[in-house]
Amino acid sequence: MTQELFDIDGKVALVTGGSRGIGKMIAAGFVKSGVKTYISSRKVEACNETAEELSEFGTCISLPFDLSTEANCKALAEAVGLHEDSLDILVNNAGATWGAPIETFDDAAWDRVLSLNVKSVFHLTKFLIPLLTKSATLESPSRVINIGSIDGIQVPVLETYSYSASKAAVHQLTKHLARKLAPFVTVNAIAPGPFESKMMHATLEAFGKQIAEMAPMKRIGRPSDMAATAIFLASQGASYITGAILPVDGGIATLK
């Protein structure tokens, strides 16, 4: 019974930003669990290399796209549709950050971050609704998993104004889409804390020990923590959960 609740073998998933960091952690967890996994990222070579690496454990296919425009979100959805009649899991992970003093935080610092972190989540989900609903049922809905951040829950230390605002927007958009797409698609968000990734590398290199010591769980997140959370949200065990924002941060969000 327990195994059936969390078995995702045979499903089909798309993970954006899947070539590195949190996206790669989730994609690896899916592939190793028997999920046919498509990954997308802006950098073609990195996307292809990660797909080749993960293909040692199962099926992983590279579909590189820059998702900062509505047109490219549509193009990715169409590319998935050329390969698959339906889609069980969409992970909206592609994202960007920007840090600068408030005095120099200009339009460029907002436009790139909001376009990728918020608008692409909406547009890609919108264009994939036909595939997400094709095989979905009341008992086994398809899943959308958005990647937010604890920076969208609490105020970050760094001057990343557009990033924290974008992640708060992702959390609210998650709830809005959850209501709209029910009952055949669940929409939930993971709000990660500190995990080793390119985006977090400089911060963890400078303050990793202090962050780990501050966290109630006294460590930085591991790839298995992120993979397990995504697998749970994609499984039958989470079929009655929608519109939830799940912090995966070792308890850091409780300190706000």
Catalytic sites, residue numbers:
163
Sheet holding 60-62, edge to edge: 60-62, 36-40, 12-16, 89-92, 142-147, 185-192, 245-248
The encoded tokens of residue 162 equal 């557009």
The encoded tokens of residue 122 equal 């909406």
Cis peptide leading into residue 183 (ω within 30°): yes
CA–CA separation, 36 and 10 (whole Å): 7
Phi, psi of 197 (to 5 degrees): -155, 170
